[in-house]
């Protein structure tokens, strides 16, 4: 029996690295199920597994408990979901205000999910080399919203290498996940941070101004300067599963902070009088876009939780 870290998973094969640095191709036998969630991939990048060496194939027999994971819905219609990565120390949401557009709805859902799973998260605004005046204005506004809440924000260009050193120092020694829409530059960024990988990168379709899912499965790479980085496929939307409505406000840090000033201690910040959150939105202390995202997540149909 050996123990190792899953660094790549294609669905049928899993690449596992053991502590001596050797790589083992493994399969799974039978079924691994996660309680309550139907997943297309029972084992994901970042999982620590035990496997038996066999002369035909190495077989994974056990998954160690995960400290956290990020999950997305597989397709728009299916009810099953896909674990993007597990046991993450640090997440970076790659955002572009244009080419393609990342909406605040999407950002806020990702941030809420990261809070729910206890994963520290930074916002990385990529492609600053390409922004025109109105894009720059948009970027400035977004940055101020998220910095005020307490999220670290970085402006970078994976194309020119601008501010890559700051990112590297944030990533050093940790298991880092990059996420974001298709086409925002996740793979390009990793190519810059860890030369030699030559990850495939895609073209942005000018008509849709969106990416084409160049990266199709998650993969973890070792960083020369210490730590790991996980490239992931672009995600279109982000579900609110595993988040109960009663605790939704916990995942919006600035809403949670002010909510102890609400008149009712079970205030949902939606219809109640003397709600400190609503007052804060009115005077501009809480961004309207954030409140809109909160409202959307509070009112969405249980069945449509995945978006
Ligand atoms: N101008 C500019 N273009 C960039 C930058 N970063 C990435 N791109 C371009 O954006 C396109 C998409 O980049 P990818 O790295 O493939 O994007 P991705 O996020 O990995 O996309 P998926 O794998 O589909 O999720 C490529 O044409 C890159 O050259 C940047 O900083 N500036
Ligand atoms: Mg990619
Ligand atoms: Zn309230």
Tokens describing residue 172: 């050093």
User: How many residues are given for the chain?
Assistant: 307
Are 232 and 85 in contact by the 8 Å Cβ rule? The answer is yes
d(CA 27, CA 113): 30
95 beta partners: 125
Which among 167, 221, 158 has a CA at the least distance from the CA of 192?
Answer: 158
The yes-or-no verdict on residue 306 having pLDDT over 80 is: no
The yes-or-no verdict on residue 305 having pLDDT over 60 is: no
d(CA 25, CA 42): 16
**pLDDT for the residue numbered 202:** 87
For residue 40, what pLDDT band results from cuts at 50, 70 and 90? Answer: confident
Q: Where are the alpha helices (DSSP H) in 117-240?
A: 133-149, 164-171, 186-193
**pLDDT for the residue numbered 236:** 81
Question: Does residue 203 have its Cβ closer than 6 Å to ligand 1?
Answer: yes
Tokens describing residue 77: 């219609």
86 beta partners: 69
The yes-or-no verdict on residue 83 having pLDDT over 90 is: no
Domains of the chain (ranges plus CATH)?
Answer: 2-65 (2.40.50.140), 86-231 (3.40.50.300), 245-304 (1.10.40.50)
Q: Where are the beta strands (DSSP E) in the chain?
A: 2-9, 14-18, 23-28, 48-52, 58-63, 69-73, 81-86, 90-95, 121-125, 153-155, 175-179, 219-222, 228-231
**pLDDT for the residue numbered 87:** 97
**pLDDT for the residue numbered 57:** 87
Question: Does residue 100 have its Cβ closer than 6 Å to ligand 1?
Answer: no
Query: Relative to the alpha carbon of 279, which ligand is closest?
Result: 3
Ligand 2 centroid distance, CA of 232 (Å): 7
**Three-state SS at 115:** helix
Question: Does residue 202 have its Cβ closer than 6 Å to ligand 1?
Answer: yes
Ligand 2 centroid distance, CA of 27 (Å): 25
**pLDDT for the residue numbered 79:** 64
Residue with the bigger pLDDT between 206 and 124: it is 124
> pLDDT per residue over 161-198, tens digit each?
999 999 999 999 999 999 999 999 999 999 999 999 99
The yes-or-no verdict on residue 6 having pLDDT over 90 is: yes
Stretch 243-272: mean pLDDT? 94
**pLDDT for the residue numbered 208:** 58
**pLDDT for the residue numbered 33:** 60
Q: What is the DSSP letter of 66?
A: P
- Percentage of the chain lying above the pLDDT 90 cut: 72
Residue with tokens 């969106």: 210
> pLDDT per residue over 86-105, tens digit each?
999 999 999 999 999 999 99
Q: Whose CA is nearest to atom 14 of ligand 1?
A: 185
154 beta partners: 124
Kindly report the CA angle at 203 between 199 and 209, in degrees rounded to 5?
A: 135
Task: State the burial class of residue 111 (Cβ atoms within 10 Å of its Cβ: 0-12, 13-18, 19+).
Answer: buried
- The sign of the dihedral angle between the CA atoms of 87, 105, 234, 61 is positive
Which residues fall within 8 angstroms of residue 223, CB to CB, at 6 or more apart? 168, 171, 172, 193, 194, 229
Which residues fall within 8 angstroms of residue 28, CB to CB, at 6 or more apart? 14, 42, 43, 59, 60
Query: Whole-structure pTM over 0.75, yes or no?
Result: yes
The yes-or-no verdict on residue 307 having pLDDT over 60 is: no
Question: Does residue 179 have its Cβ closer than 6 Å to ligand 1?
Answer: no
Residue with the bigger pLDDT between 97 and 81: it is 97
d(CA 218, CA 60): 19
The yes-or-no verdict on residue 150 having pLDDT over 70 is: yes
For residue 248, what pLDDT band results from cuts at 50, 70 and 90? Answer: very high
For residue 203, what pLDDT band results from cuts at 50, 70 and 90? Answer: confident
Return the biggest CA–CA distance within the chain: 69
**pLDDT for the residue numbered 36:** 59
For residue 229, what pLDDT band results from cuts at 50, 70 and 90? Answer: very high
Q: Does an H or E element contain 278, and which?
A: helix 276-282
Query: Relative to the alpha carbon of 281, which ligand is closest?
Result: 3
Stretch 209-231: mean pLDDT? 88
**pLDDT for the residue numbered 205:** 61
d(CA 185, CA 61): 36
Ligand 1 centroid distance, CA of 100 (Å): 10
């Amino acid at each position: 029996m050996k123990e190792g870290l899953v660094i790549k998973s294609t669905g049928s094969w899993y690449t596992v690295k053991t502590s001596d640095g050797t790589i083992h191709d493994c399969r799974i036998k039978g079924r691994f199920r996660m309680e309550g969630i139907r997943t297309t991939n029972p084992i994901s990048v970042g999982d620590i597994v035990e496997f038996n060496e066999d002369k035909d194939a190495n077989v994974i027999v056990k998954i160690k408990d995960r400290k956290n994971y990020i999950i997305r819905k597989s397709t728009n219609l299916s009810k099953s979901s896909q674990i993007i990565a597990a046991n993450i120390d640090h997440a970076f949401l790659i955002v572009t205000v244009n080419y393609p557009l990342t909406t605040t709805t999407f950002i806020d859902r990702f941030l809420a999910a990261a809070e729910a799973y206890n994963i520290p998260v930074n916002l990385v605004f990529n492609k600053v080399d390409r922004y025109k005046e109105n894009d720059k204005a948009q970027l400035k506004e977004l940055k101020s919203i998220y910095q005020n809440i307490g999220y670290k924000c970085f402006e970078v260009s994976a194309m020119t290498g601008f501010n890559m050193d700051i990112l590297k120092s944030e990533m050093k020694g940790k298991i880092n996940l990059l996420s974001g829409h298709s086409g925002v530059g996740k793979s390009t960024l990793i190519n810059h941070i860890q030369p030699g990988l030559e990850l495939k990168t895609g073209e942005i379709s000018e008509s849709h101004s969106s990416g084409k899912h160049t990266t199709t499965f998650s993969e973890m790479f070792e960083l020369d300067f210490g730590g790991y980085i996980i490239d992931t496929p672009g995600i279109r939307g982000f579900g609110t599963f595993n988040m109960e409505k009663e605790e939704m406000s916990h995942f919006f840090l600035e809403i949670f902070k002010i909510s102890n000033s609400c008149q009712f201690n079970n205030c949902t910040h939606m219809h109640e009088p003397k709600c400190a959150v609503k007052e804060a939105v009115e005077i501009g202390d809480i961004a309207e876009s954030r409140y809109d995202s909160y409202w959307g997540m509070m009112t969405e149909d249980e069945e449509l939780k995945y978006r």
